[in-house]
Chain A
Amino acid sequence: MSFGDIAGLWLATGLTLFLFSFLYRDNPFYKLGEHLYLGVTIGYMLVKLVYETWIPKVWNAENYALVIPPVIIGFLLLTRFVPKVSWLSRWSFAFIIGYGSGLAIPATFTSIILKQAEATTRPLVTVPTAAEQKALEAAEKTLADTRAARGNEAPETRAAEKAALSARRSGTYSWVRAYADVTTIILFLGVFSVLFYFFFSIEHKGPVRIFSRVGVLFLMIYFGASYGYTVMGRFALLYDRLLDVRKASGGDAWFATPIILVLMIGVLVWRHRTGKASEEPSH
């Protein structure tokens, strides 16, 4: 590892441990990390603004006539710093908000309302199609033929039995089909009742109440399931951080983790002893 990498590892490990220390309580290390973080992000944003917006889109613009209006809009925004003319910034707000609203209307119709409506309309109770029934007949016939030719125990017969079983499941009203239908019905019922819950102009009484209650139950399953599912992803993130901390504890990183950790604990204990820590609230 080069010196730059080792210095970087020390910086990264230090910042990581500083932020982790928030779990224990608010402390100078967290404050240090937090304020540095604030500064670094703003510095980074500035760099990005200069090099990815200002230079390519304004400074090196192909047609300056097209760049003047947005620059004016931008400067008008800055009038907020001058209270007397700060009303000029309204023009910029009007542009920005008008643009966002105009963009949202057709996009929301397509991406949410139409798309979700299309996905929700499914036959609630399905019947086997003629083709599926025909396939079942063929599979049964193959099974009977194979059984007659090969006997009951031959692998070909077993395969044919398997094929016939799956053909039977789609060619007749089977448990599999019933399961699929029930799933569709539950999905439909869920969408329907949750939408009912969001009616604001009717008092939730009588049948409406029942429907909206069902809606609430669906909402609860959604909250619980989503919560449970996200846990996996969040642990993956945490695992990765811990892995990095572990990697930085070895000799090739000049023992960054243990040294920083010992220093931090030392300072915190010292502050606790001298009573300075009581200035910081725990939580």
Chain B
Amino acid sequence: MRELFEKLLKMDRRWIFLLVGIALMVPILKPLKLPGLKASTPVQDLYTYIEGLPEGSKVLISFDFDPASKPELEPMGAAIVRHCMRKKLKVVAMTLWVTGASLAQRVVESEATAAGAKYGEDYVYLGWKPGNVAVITGMREDIHVVFPKDSKQTDLSKIPMMQDIRRLRDFDLAFSFAAGSPGLDTWIAYGADKEKVKMGGGSTAVNVPSMAVFVQSGQLVGFIGALRGAAEYELLMNFSGTATRGMDGIALGSYLVAALIILANIGYWLTRKPKGVA
């Protein structure tokens, strides 16, 4: 027993790498659907709010992240777009992060195609414009001035659904999925608060604590926190997407790390005593 633990303590770390790899790979190959995932209140609130919007309501989604944060934010963006499409809401998507421009487009296009939505009538992708806060303040005055053309270089004035969407306040709900600043906090301070537009959003795990303030103060109708929040949303949407499977992987990985730590400590306590003494 002692020898076994001694071996364990001296184990080549590449075995740990292998175990971690396996733990995360298993749910990719075969979803486990571990029970216990339950929508937290802010996620539930967001879901309920969108459920309550009448068909044809206008929704703005800003994908404010770059490739580095894609793993955490893309699944929640996809889930929200999917929900909006399912509810037949009009979706206007955009980004404040230049490095996120093509990411956002991919999410919107793939979800919209899957739902059979029509470009220009059910959804529009505006792309990116420089200016950060200035983009938001400009959109308060006139979206058509800030974005004269959409990402496909079509004049906004020629896009059917943009006819009655002129200003930020024309939206029934606005979202920001943010990896930092400019992001959710910027949208709240310069957009939602000034125009009384309802705001929802999501952020990466690191930013969840700092965003909790806005959830508590009621400035957000709902909030999705990191991959776990996205998994909760997928649960409400009743499908098992990337986030749900990712949560399985994270669960296995976390348990693996915890088990390794515990084993190592048992080993440490067993092997610590000098030989011959009980």
Contacts and interface: CB of A to CB of B under 8 A. Distances in A.
On whether A and B touch (CB less than 8 Å), the answer reads: yes
Contacts of B20: 238
Interface string A214-253: 0000000000000001111101111110110010000000
A91 B82 CA distance: 56
Contacts of A238: 20, 24, 253
B106 to A, nearest CB: 11
A24 interface: yes
Contact of B250 (A23, A235, A246): A235
A243 B254 contact: no
B249 A246 contact: no
Nearest to A233: B205
A272 to B, nearest CB: 15
Contacts of A23: 14, 17
B205 A229 contact: yes
Contacts of A236: 71-72, 205, 226-227, 246, 250
B258 to A, nearest CB: 9
B116 interface: no
A46 to B, nearest CB: 17
A216 B204 CA distance: 29
A233 B226 contact: yes
Interface string A116-132: 00000000000000000
B206 A233 contact: yes
B253 A231 contact: yes
A246 B28 CA distance: 8
B14 A24 contact: yes
B189 interface: no
B62 interface: no
Contacts of B206: 233
Give the contact-size bracket for chain A: 10 to 19
A237 B205 contact: no
Contact of B71 (A230, A231, A237, A246): A237
A229 B227 CA distance: 13
Contact of A242 (B24, B227, B257): B24
B28 A243 contact: yes
A235 B249 contact: yes
Contact of A239 (B14, B29, B71, B228): B71
Given A23-B14, A229-B205, A235 B228 contact: no
Contacts of B17: 23
Nearest to B257: A231
Contacts of A233: 72, 204-206, 226
Nearest to B16: A23
A240 B204 CA distance: 14
Contacts of A240: 70-71, 246
B19 to A, nearest CB: 12
Contacts of B228: 232
B160 interface: no
A235 B227 CA distance: 10
Nearest to B27: A239
A137 B28 CA distance: 57
Interface of B: 14, 17, 20-21, 24-25, 28-29, 70-72, 204-206, 226-228, 242, 246, 249-250, 253-254, 257
Interface of A: 23-24, 229-233, 235-240, 242-243, 246
Would you list the 4 A-B pairs with minimal beta carbon distance, nearest first? A240-B71, A233-B205, A235-B250, A235-B253
23 contacts: A23-B14, A23-B17, A24-B14, A229-B205, A231-B254, A231-B257, A232-B205, A232-B226, A232-B227, A232-B228, A232-B250, A235-B249, A235-B253, A236-B205, A236-B246, A239-B24, A239-B250, A240-B71, A242-B21, A242-B28, A242-B249, A243-B242, A246-B25
